[in-house]
Structure 1
Amino acid sequence: MNEPQPSPAKEAQPAGPAGAPSWTKLINIMIAQASFIAALMFYLGVTYTDAYYGYYHLSPFDLGFGFAEFALQSLNLLTFPVLVAVVVLLIAVALNARGSRRVLPDVVARCHLVVVAAGLLLLILWWQWQLLPQYRWAGPLLIGVGLLLGVVPRDDVAPSRGLWDTAVSIFAAGVFLFWAVTLVAGQLGDQHARNDGRHTNRRTALVVYSARRLALFNPALGVGSEDLGNAVHLRYRYTGLRLITARGGRYYALPIKWQARTDPVYILRESDNVRFEFMPGVK
């Protein structure tokens, strides 16, 4: 009777793609995250730039801004309060990762309805009576934070929400947080434009030389004119202008005593009969 022969030991198979880190998946995740961040920066940059130049009766789309320029404009949102909020958020995430996840939720998550109600109250105060306009972003922010706190697991409450309810709450929180960020971007753009408009003398001074008279002379707005004589080709010299921006061969300028509600913005183009000089503004 033949005894069964032991089967030969199987050689260890090298770890396949399932056992080894997939560089393709990692690269795809990084590309997706980078695309989302770039799209968010573009959107916030458009919102900020539209509010900033809208104060000067200009549109950034007419100025010819591109994707990269809009994205870079979003960096104006990195103010000190925003950086402090980001640092606090990173500290909270670090504490959550180190095992302190039960401390914050049990103390704060119970009050998520109070946070949502407070945000709704601020939203009504701003929407109906235009109260606290400088903090109109606080309402959507509190509602979004309250909705997120409502889906955080707690020790004293058994999880009863289904996946659908949790997904809806997270989606709604994202919408309100996105709304809050949009309001912040628009408010900062308008605020920065107003600050620059109040200090026009600090902007780059634009001196215009022209072979013909231009409809720029306006002593009431601080724009002066000087005739240099027949011996000079560009005989008319205009001062008292401040540069807003230069785009596509066009120079957008305003008078030094410019007022947003009543005064115009000048659009000038350089040619053989018009020349510009840039001077430092008075500080």
Structure 2
Amino acid sequence: MVLLKTVVAQASFIAALMFYLGAIYTSEYFGYFHLSFYSLDFSFAELVLQSLQLLKYQFLVAAVLILIVVAAGPQLSRLLSWSSRRAHTRPAASTPLAWLSTAITAAGLLLLIFWSEIQPYAWTAPLTIAAGLLLGQSRNVRGNPPDGLRRRAVVVFASGVFLFWALTQATQQFGEEDAKAHAADVVDWTSVVVLSSKPLSLPPPGVQEEKLPRENLLLPYRYTGLRLLLERHGRYYVVPADWKAKTDAVYVIQESNDLWIALRPGTQPAS
């Protein structure tokens, strides 16, 4: 029963963390397209899945490195203690591992000072500090038994705060980078063709409006040159094929009886 409660608690924490990171990523991503995250009505499950966008090379390398540093701490402590016993000497009051922990933490603080200079990878600063603090909590890192529970709890809490900060900063960076990469190839997005019973406020030259010559058509106005950014609950968020992030708007087309919307392949590269 205790094991089940522990598993449920850990699963709930992981799900909540993934939801938070997914919300941060989605907000940053669609914010680049001038869309409010709250207006898109993403569900809890959708935001949890969005957090998987963080599985990138830089993030995975950083995560592996910090795991190696933390996991190697106890092993290095035992190795140093074994070497001291072999030499018939008492463990030093401050082992090389303690110096390493201090050096890593100091390096993180130095990176923090140069926060603006190391953009967009400033999240490595709190990550480095967290790694140094966690390494300093390894058993016998200073040649002595572990510190009191209260002191260790404070240090672990501080490490968690720095890790949380690093995750937030990295998520924001990845969201913006992915949005910029997506916006660089607007012409390749899914093409949208709209037929309407009346003229729409979609300005040229990016959008082409055509009045079909046949009479008695229910939907005589045709709009082309549009690309689909997102479809949510019958709302189509579209942009012109020549869309520019800094100057152009995103248009929202709501499904209705006065509209017919078709989705077609975007411009494909020549084979």
Q: TM-score, normalised by structure 1?
A: 0.82
What corresponds to 1:244 in structure 2?
Answer: 229
Structure 1 alignment gaps of length 5 or more: 1-23
What corresponds to 2:113 in structure 1?
Answer: 124
Helix, strand or coil at the partner of 2:127:
helix
Helix, strand or coil at the partner of 1:153:
coil
Helix, strand or coil at the partner of 2:253:
strand
Matched, 1:223 2:207: yes
Superposed, which structure 2 residues align to 1:103-182 within 5 Å?
103=79, 108-126=97-115, 130-154=116-140, 157-159=143-145, 161-182=147-168
Instruction: After superposing the two structures, state which structure 1 stretch, 154-163 or 131-140, moved more.
Output: 154-163
The amino acid of 1:263's aligned partner reads D
CA distance in 2, matches of 1:155, 1:269: 62
Match of 2:174 among 170, 188, 201: 188
Helix, strand or coil at the partner of 2:243:
coil
* 2:130 and 2:162 in contact (8 A); partners too: yes
The amino acid of 1:68's aligned partner reads A
Question: Which string of whole-angstrom CA distances, capped at 9 and with x for unpartnered residues, describes residues 233-267 of structure 1?
Answer: 21111111111111121111111111111111101
Describe the shift of the 1:210–1:68 C-alpha distance in structure 2 as closer, same or farther (beyond 3 A).
same
Shift of the alpha carbon at 1:94?
A: 7.4
CA distance in 2, matches of 1:181, 1:247: 28
What corresponds to 2:262 in structure 1?
Answer: 277
The amino acid of 1:114's aligned partner reads A
What corresponds to 2:54 in structure 1?
Answer: 77
Q: TM-score, normalised by structure 2?
A: 0.85
* 2:101 and 2:136 in contact (8 A); partners too: yes
Structure 2 alignment gaps of length 5 or more: 82-94
* 1:252 and 1:265 in contact (8 A); partners too: yes
Rg (Cα) greater in structure: 1
CA distance in 2, matches of 1:249, 1:195: 26
CA distance in 1, matches of 2:126, 2:66: 18
Helix, strand or coil at the partner of 2:143:
coil
Match of 1:60 among 22, 28, 37: 37
RMSD after superposition: 2.4
Matched, 1:202 2:188: yes
CA distance in 2, matches of 1:132, 1:94: 27
What corresponds to 1:47 in structure 2?
Answer: 24
Helix, strand or coil at the partner of 1:275:
strand
CA distance in 2, matches of 1:125, 1:84: 22
The amino acid of 1:118's aligned partner reads A
Describe the shift of the 1:91–1:159 C-alpha distance in structure 2 as closer, same or farther (beyond 3 A).
closer
CA distance in 1, matches of 2:67, 2:12: 22
Shift of the alpha carbon at 1:171?
A: 0.5
What corresponds to 1:102 in structure 2?
Answer: 78
Alignment identity in percent? 46
The amino acid of 1:275's aligned partner reads W
CA distance in 1, matches of 2:100, 2:65: 19
Helix, strand or coil at the partner of 1:134:
coil
Match of 2:238 among 253, 275, 279: 253
The amino acid of 1:244's aligned partner reads L
Describe the shift of the 1:104–1:213 C-alpha distance in structure 2 as closer, same or farther (beyond 3 A).
farther
Question: Which string of whole-angstrom CA distances, capped at 9 and with x for unpartnered residues, describes residues 144-203 of structure 1?
Answer: 111111221236622363221111111001100111011111111111001111111121
Helix, strand or coil at the partner of 1:26:
helix
